Amino acid sequence: ASMGRTLVELFYDVISPYSWLAFEVLCRYRHIWNIDLRFRPAFLGGIMQQTGNKPPAMLPKRGEYLLKDMKRMAKYYQVPLRMPTDSLQHILGTSSLMAMRFITAISTTNPQYLEPLSREFWMRFWSQHEDISQPENILVVAKQAGLSPELSQKALEMTSSAAVKDQLKETTAEALKFGAFGMPAVVAHYDGKPHLFFGSDRLELLGSIIGEKWLGPVPS
Protein backbone atom coordinates (compact mmCIF):
# COMPACT_ATOMS: atom_id res chain seq x y z
CA ALA A 1 0.00 0.00 0.00
CA SER A 2 1.18 3.51 -0.70
CA MET A 3 2.23 5.78 2.14
CA GLY A 4 -0.32 6.00 4.90
CA ARG A 5 -3.00 4.12 2.97
CA THR A 6 -4.57 0.91 4.20
CA LEU A 7 -4.34 -2.03 1.82
CA VAL A 8 -7.75 -3.70 1.55
CA GLU A 9 -7.91 -6.99 -0.35
CA LEU A 10 -11.19 -8.32 -1.66
CA PHE A 11 -11.20 -12.07 -2.28
CA TYR A 12 -14.21 -12.84 -4.45
CA ASP A 13 -15.84 -15.24 -6.87
CA VAL A 14 -18.48 -14.13 -9.40
CA ILE A 15 -20.71 -17.06 -8.38
CA SER A 16 -21.20 -15.30 -5.03
CA PRO A 17 -23.92 -12.62 -5.00
CA TYR A 18 -22.74 -11.17 -1.67
CA SER A 19 -19.32 -10.72 -3.26
CA TRP A 20 -20.93 -8.46 -5.85
CA LEU A 21 -22.41 -6.27 -3.12
CA ALA A 22 -19.07 -5.97 -1.31
CA PHE A 23 -17.28 -5.29 -4.60
CA GLU A 24 -19.57 -2.39 -5.56
CA VAL A 25 -19.51 -0.82 -2.10
CA LEU A 26 -15.71 -1.02 -1.86
CA CYS A 27 -15.44 0.47 -5.36
CA ARG A 28 -17.58 3.39 -4.12
CA TYR A 29 -15.43 3.88 -1.01
CA ARG A 30 -12.14 3.61 -2.85
CA HIS A 31 -11.95 7.38 -3.29
CA ILE A 32 -13.62 8.29 0.00
CA TRP A 33 -11.57 6.18 2.39
CA ASN A 34 -7.79 6.27 2.55
CA ILE A 35 -7.43 2.76 1.11
CA ASP A 36 -5.72 0.91 -1.70
CA LEU A 37 -8.28 -1.59 -2.94
CA ARG A 38 -6.87 -4.79 -4.39
CA PHE A 39 -9.10 -7.25 -6.24
CA ARG A 40 -8.21 -10.89 -5.58
CA PRO A 41 -10.15 -13.28 -7.82
CA ALA A 42 -10.29 -16.66 -6.04
CA PHE A 43 -12.29 -19.89 -6.32
CA LEU A 44 -15.19 -20.27 -3.90
CA GLY A 45 -15.54 -23.99 -4.66
CA GLY A 46 -11.99 -24.53 -3.39
CA ILE A 47 -12.65 -22.58 -0.20
CA MET A 48 -15.85 -24.50 0.53
CA GLN A 49 -14.08 -27.80 -0.07
CA GLN A 50 -11.06 -26.95 2.09
CA THR A 51 -13.14 -25.68 5.02
CA GLY A 52 -16.07 -28.11 4.83
CA ASN A 53 -18.46 -25.18 4.36
CA LYS A 54 -21.74 -25.58 2.45
CA PRO A 55 -23.66 -23.04 0.36
CA PRO A 56 -26.35 -21.39 2.53
CA ALA A 57 -29.01 -22.41 0.01
CA MET A 58 -28.34 -26.09 0.84
CA LEU A 59 -30.45 -25.58 3.98
CA PRO A 60 -34.05 -25.02 2.79
CA LYS A 61 -34.97 -22.45 5.45
CA ARG A 62 -31.76 -20.59 4.89
CA GLY A 63 -32.36 -20.74 1.16
CA GLU A 64 -35.80 -19.16 1.61
CA TYR A 65 -34.27 -16.41 3.72
CA LEU A 66 -31.47 -15.87 1.20
CA LEU A 67 -34.00 -15.02 -1.53
CA LYS A 68 -35.65 -12.36 0.64
CA ASP A 69 -32.35 -11.10 1.99
CA MET A 70 -30.89 -10.66 -1.48
CA LYS A 71 -33.93 -8.75 -2.67
CA ARG A 72 -33.65 -6.32 0.26
CA MET A 73 -29.88 -6.05 0.02
CA ALA A 74 -29.92 -5.37 -3.74
CA LYS A 75 -32.32 -2.49 -3.18
CA TYR A 76 -30.43 -1.10 -0.18
CA TYR A 77 -27.03 -1.44 -1.86
CA GLN A 78 -28.36 -0.23 -5.23
CA VAL A 79 -26.88 -3.14 -7.16
CA PRO A 80 -29.02 -4.62 -9.99
CA LEU A 81 -28.96 -8.10 -8.50
CA ARG A 82 -32.04 -10.24 -9.06
CA MET A 83 -32.37 -13.64 -7.45
CA PRO A 84 -33.85 -16.24 -9.79
CA THR A 85 -36.65 -18.20 -8.10
CA ASP A 86 -34.78 -21.43 -8.82
CA SER A 87 -31.61 -19.85 -7.44
CA LEU A 88 -30.45 -23.07 -5.80
CA GLN A 89 -30.36 -24.94 -9.13
CA HIS A 90 -28.98 -21.82 -10.78
CA ILE A 91 -25.99 -21.67 -8.43
CA LEU A 92 -25.36 -25.35 -7.82
CA GLY A 93 -25.70 -26.12 -11.51
CA THR A 94 -22.97 -23.68 -12.50
CA SER A 95 -19.22 -23.94 -12.06
CA SER A 96 -17.38 -20.64 -11.86
CA LEU A 97 -13.97 -22.28 -12.29
CA MET A 98 -13.55 -21.32 -15.95
CA ALA A 99 -14.80 -17.77 -15.34
CA MET A 100 -12.44 -17.28 -12.40
CA ARG A 101 -9.52 -18.64 -14.43
CA PHE A 102 -10.41 -16.21 -17.21
CA ILE A 103 -10.58 -13.31 -14.74
CA THR A 104 -7.25 -14.47 -13.27
CA ALA A 105 -5.65 -14.51 -16.72
CA ILE A 106 -6.80 -10.93 -17.33
CA SER A 107 -5.62 -9.84 -13.88
CA THR A 108 -2.08 -10.92 -14.78
CA THR A 109 -1.97 -9.56 -18.34
CA ASN A 110 -4.37 -6.58 -18.39
CA PRO A 111 -5.32 -5.62 -14.83
CA GLN A 112 -7.07 -2.44 -16.02
CA TYR A 113 -9.93 -4.69 -17.20
CA LEU A 114 -10.26 -6.58 -13.94
CA GLU A 115 -12.96 -4.36 -12.45
CA PRO A 116 -15.26 -4.03 -15.51
CA LEU A 117 -14.80 -7.70 -16.41
CA SER A 118 -15.72 -8.96 -12.93
CA ARG A 119 -18.75 -6.65 -12.89
CA GLU A 120 -19.95 -7.97 -16.27
CA PHE A 121 -19.74 -11.56 -15.03
CA TRP A 122 -21.97 -10.68 -12.07
CA MET A 123 -24.30 -8.72 -14.36
CA ARG A 124 -24.69 -11.65 -16.72
CA PHE A 125 -25.17 -14.30 -14.02
CA TRP A 126 -27.00 -12.41 -11.27
CA SER A 127 -28.90 -9.79 -13.25
CA GLN A 128 -29.62 -11.49 -16.58
CA HIS A 129 -29.53 -15.10 -15.31
CA GLU A 130 -27.39 -16.22 -18.23
CA ASP A 131 -24.66 -18.85 -18.31
CA ILE A 132 -21.05 -17.89 -17.47
CA SER A 133 -19.44 -21.33 -17.60
CA GLN A 134 -19.17 -21.94 -21.35
CA PRO A 135 -16.32 -20.44 -23.39
CA GLU A 136 -18.66 -18.74 -25.88
CA ASN A 137 -20.51 -17.03 -23.03
CA ILE A 138 -17.27 -15.99 -21.34
CA LEU A 139 -16.32 -14.29 -24.62
CA VAL A 140 -19.65 -12.42 -24.63
CA VAL A 141 -18.94 -11.15 -21.11
CA ALA A 142 -15.43 -10.08 -22.12
CA LYS A 143 -16.80 -8.15 -25.07
CA GLN A 144 -19.29 -6.37 -22.80
CA ALA A 145 -16.38 -5.40 -20.56
CA GLY A 146 -14.56 -3.80 -23.50
CA LEU A 147 -11.92 -6.44 -24.19
CA SER A 148 -10.80 -6.86 -27.78
CA PRO A 149 -11.54 -10.21 -29.47
CA GLU A 150 -7.76 -10.88 -29.63
CA LEU A 151 -7.27 -10.26 -25.92
CA SER A 152 -10.34 -12.35 -25.02
CA GLN A 153 -9.16 -15.22 -27.17
CA LYS A 154 -5.69 -15.09 -25.63
CA ALA A 155 -7.10 -15.07 -22.10
CA LEU A 156 -9.37 -17.98 -22.96
CA GLU A 157 -6.36 -19.98 -24.15
CA MET A 158 -4.51 -19.05 -20.95
CA THR A 159 -7.26 -20.61 -18.79
CA SER A 160 -5.85 -24.05 -19.52
CA SER A 161 -2.26 -23.04 -18.73
CA ALA A 162 -0.52 -24.21 -15.57
CA ALA A 163 0.43 -20.60 -14.76
CA VAL A 164 -3.17 -19.39 -14.56
CA LYS A 165 -4.45 -22.52 -12.78
CA ASP A 166 -1.67 -22.17 -10.20
CA GLN A 167 -2.27 -18.45 -9.77
CA LEU A 168 -5.95 -19.06 -8.96
CA LYS A 169 -5.04 -21.88 -6.58
CA GLU A 170 -2.47 -19.62 -4.88
CA THR A 171 -4.91 -16.75 -4.41
CA THR A 172 -7.50 -19.17 -3.02
CA ALA A 173 -4.87 -20.63 -0.65
CA GLU A 174 -3.99 -17.10 0.46
CA ALA A 175 -7.63 -16.38 1.33
CA LEU A 176 -7.66 -19.60 3.38
CA LYS A 177 -4.45 -18.55 5.11
CA PHE A 178 -6.18 -15.33 6.23
CA GLY A 179 -8.98 -17.47 7.70
CA ALA A 180 -11.57 -17.30 4.92
CA PHE A 181 -14.32 -19.93 4.91
CA GLY A 182 -16.57 -18.30 2.30
CA MET A 183 -16.92 -15.24 0.08
CA PRO A 184 -16.52 -12.35 0.01
CA ALA A 185 -13.48 -12.31 2.25
CA VAL A 186 -12.19 -8.79 2.86
CA VAL A 187 -8.74 -8.45 4.41
CA ALA A 188 -7.56 -5.09 5.72
CA HIS A 189 -3.86 -4.75 6.50
CA TYR A 190 -3.85 -2.34 9.38
CA ASP A 191 -1.63 -1.80 12.39
CA GLY A 192 0.85 -4.39 11.14
CA LYS A 193 -1.63 -7.24 10.91
CA PRO A 194 -4.37 -8.61 8.64
CA HIS A 195 -8.01 -8.23 9.72
CA LEU A 196 -10.51 -10.56 8.04
CA PHE A 197 -14.13 -9.54 7.47
CA PHE A 198 -16.61 -12.03 6.00
CA GLY A 199 -19.58 -10.96 3.91
CA SER A 200 -20.83 -7.69 2.49
CA ASP A 201 -22.45 -6.48 5.71
CA ARG A 202 -19.27 -6.00 7.73
CA LEU A 203 -17.90 -3.04 5.82
CA GLU A 204 -19.12 -0.68 8.53
CA LEU A 205 -17.00 -2.64 10.98
CA LEU A 206 -14.06 -2.56 8.54
CA GLY A 207 -14.33 1.24 8.51
CA SER A 208 -14.31 1.47 12.28
CA ILE A 209 -11.22 -0.75 12.58
CA ILE A 210 -9.20 1.28 10.06
CA GLY A 211 -10.45 4.61 11.41
CA GLU A 212 -12.70 5.55 8.50
CA LYS A 213 -16.26 6.88 8.55
CA TRP A 214 -19.06 4.65 7.28
CA LEU A 215 -21.55 6.61 5.17
CA GLY A 216 -23.87 3.76 4.21
CA PRO A 217 -23.64 1.45 1.20
CA VAL A 218 -24.23 4.29 -1.26
CA PRO A 219 -22.04 7.18 -0.10
CA SER A 220 -22.71 10.23 -2.23
- Just list the catalytic residues: 16
**CB neighbours of 219 closer than 8 A, spacing ≥ 6?**
28, 29, 32
Amino acid at 192: G
The CA distance from 91 to 97, in Å, is 13
**How many alpha carbons lie under 13 Å from residue 217 in its C-beta half-sphere?**
17
Tally of CB atoms within 10 A around 92: 12
- Angle 26-176-137 (CA atoms, 0-180°, nearest 5)? 60
